[in-house]
Chains A and B, each alone.
Chain A
Amino acid sequence: MQERERIYVLSCFVENKPGVLARIVGLISGRGYNIQTLNVGPTEDGTVSRMKIGVLGTEKVVNQIILQLRNCVNVMEVVCRRGR
């Protein structure tokens, strides 16, 4: 049975350092997944940025992406919300 694909929104809190955005985008796209929406902004702590990434995928695939993101040296936290 094919699992259903949905949009998941990943909120990532990352160190505000050069190259972090590219690394995260590369990690997702490099594994063949499409980023649907992407929003990057500051948090109250200037050294931390927040990225909201919308990806389309099955639960299994998105879980794998989350675990990969958590392995990323500059990623502090990843929270996932299921969309439509």
Chain B
Amino acid sequence: MRRAAREQSSGGRTGAKALVESLERAGAQILFGYPGGNVIDIFNLLPASKMKFVLGRHEQGCVHMADGYARATGRPGVALVTSGPGATNAITGLGTANMDGIPLVLVSGQVPLSEIGTDAFQEADMSGICRAVTKHSFLVKSADEIPETVAEAFYIATHGKPGAVVIDLPRNVQREICLAQYPERISLRAYHPECPVPPGSAAALAGLVNRARRPVIYAGGGVIASGASADLKALAEKAQIPVATSLMGVGAFDTRDPLSLGMAGVYGTKAANAAIASADLVLALGVRFNDRMTAAFPPERGVKTVHVDCDASSIEKNVPVSLGIVADIKDVLTTISSRVKPARHDEWLRRLAALARRSPARRGTKGIAPADVVRSVAAAVGGDAIVVTDVGQHQMFAAREFPHSCPRRFISSGGMGTMGFGIPAAIGAALAMPGEKVVALVGDGGAQMTAEELKVAADERLGIVFVVFNNSSLGMIRQMQERYFVGNFTNPDFMALARAYGLRGVRVEKAADLDRAMARAVRAKGPVLVEVKVDRDARA
């Protein structure tokens, strides 16, 4: 008793309390999570916390929500799950965020230290399991490590190439007394991700840009992460360089700008792919040259490719380059801006514009074209909404057909291509940006992977429009197969499903009804599920 009093007076509190305090100090506003035996002590403290707690319905959903929050705001998403099955359920969410360079911190409960390795109830080696899908993880061994570990986890998640970080916290550590305080500053001994623009590289880059006759900018998620969209626009306009983006780069450049070529890649536009293939200078900013992209243009780039990225390991990983610059993209663009001379590339731009006009609208004949659904959504929101997608054909239509104009307003799982991402990520984005219209575009397959999270949208009264593209098939798979076979894929009654979860449901079967239904759904206060019967023969 006396010891407890002494610990109290010297700033002591339980590890669980230290965790909650530290998360608050680190700036967490919303905690997405799901309870369990090995995080009970933390949950007991949540009613009194400054953080808003949002209960998902599955740990994967919780992590995707935190991910959606992070993509919409640029701030790390934070999630809390229990040990064992809670932790393993979170894995897909971690990999999804990490692969796209999204900052995320997950706290997982763990069995008491003395029981680790005994196959205790709900024990899983989280450090081992999450290693391949996270940037870093910590197994906390004493309560005094908690404040510093939280500070370091947030630092690692947000510095260098952002990523997912796990804090695995054994139950006994949550109950121990923690005397340590949250550190004022963080210095990691071995991790120094800051990368100033290398001397000489800006001059070299500006020289290449000034000499180029057919330049193109290929912009990726790194531009958004670095907050460099305005600098990108300034560069493109000054030197009249057309801009293509990767899927993760959608939103980095206004697609309504005459210099926009849209998205490159297998599902990209002709103009974007042709520009990259035939340019005499490709200025690749914050891209990974992922295979979904390079398959659409010659990957042997070499002499005419400049690659700027904060991750040294991404340069020359997939394509050879003539100049690689490891630096923050915004820093590079600000450094070169005065050295780049105004230029015109009228002939080159004309050639690309002609290709853009010829981009074929590949559509079938039976029923509503999925591309028209995206256009209808765009019209209903006046081009201004946070667009979240799931994975599949509808995702590609959403990336191509919506008039994306700002960063952090197109939210999609790129690297992992995780079906089931759309519904929970939209919820995370809506909670992060109250007052913004959020539209979730999901396939009828992906909708069934995380439909349980719809309840959260209803409970939180989020004004999200969930648009289910019902093509009665796993469209992207159907498009890839010579003879469609996926087993017995059937749909639930989506209207009954919406009702069951407390959403308003609207079914659209005729093209003539589409725009009116969409406009009404967008005006509604609470969540609406709009099911649109789309042409199953359409190709993305």
Please give the residue numbers on chain A whose beta carbons come within 8 Å of chain B beta carbons, in ascending order: 14-15, 18-19, 22-23, 26, 30, 60, 63-64, 67-68, 70-76
Contacts and interface: CB of A to CB of B under 8 A. Distances in A.
A19 B139 contact: yes
A45 to B, nearest CB: 11
22 contacts: A14-B190, A15-B189, A15-B190, A18-B141, A19-B127, A19-B139, A22-B127, A26-B132, A30-B131, A30-B132, A64-B313, A67-B313, A68-B313, A70-B312, A70-B313, A71-B161, A71-B311, A71-B313, A72-B190, A73-B136, A73-B191, A74-B190
Nearest to B141: A18
B188 interface: yes
A18 B139 contact: yes
Interface size class of B (residues with CB under 8 A): 20 to 34
10 nearest A-B pairs in the assembled complex, by CB-CB distance: A67-B313, A76-B190, A73-B136, A73-B191, A67-B312, A26-B131, A68-B313, A30-B132, A15-B190, A74-B190
Contacts of B312: 67, 70-71
B283 interface: no
Contacts of A64: 313, 317
A72 B127 CA distance: 15
B123 to A, nearest CB: 16
Contacts of A70: 312-313
Interface in B158-188: 160-161, 188
Contacts of A76: 189-190
Contacts of B316: 60, 63
Contacts of A14: 190
Contacts of B430: none
A76 B160 CA distance: 15
Contacts of B188: 73
B472 to A, nearest CB: 38
A52 B141 CA distance: 28
A69 to B, nearest CB: 9
B135 interface: yes
Nearest to A30: B132
A77 to B, nearest CB: 8
Contacts of A63: 316
A73 B135 contact: yes
A14 to B, nearest CB: 7
B95 to A, nearest CB: 12
Contacts of A73: 135-136, 156, 188, 190-191
Contacts of A26: 131-132
B117 interface: no
Nearest to B190: A76
A67 B135 CA distance: 14
A38 to B, nearest CB: 17
Interface in B312-328: 312-313, 316-317
Interface in B290-322: 311-313, 316-317
Nearest to A76: B190
B192 to A, nearest CB: 10
B176 to A, nearest CB: 18
Contacts of A22: 127-128, 131
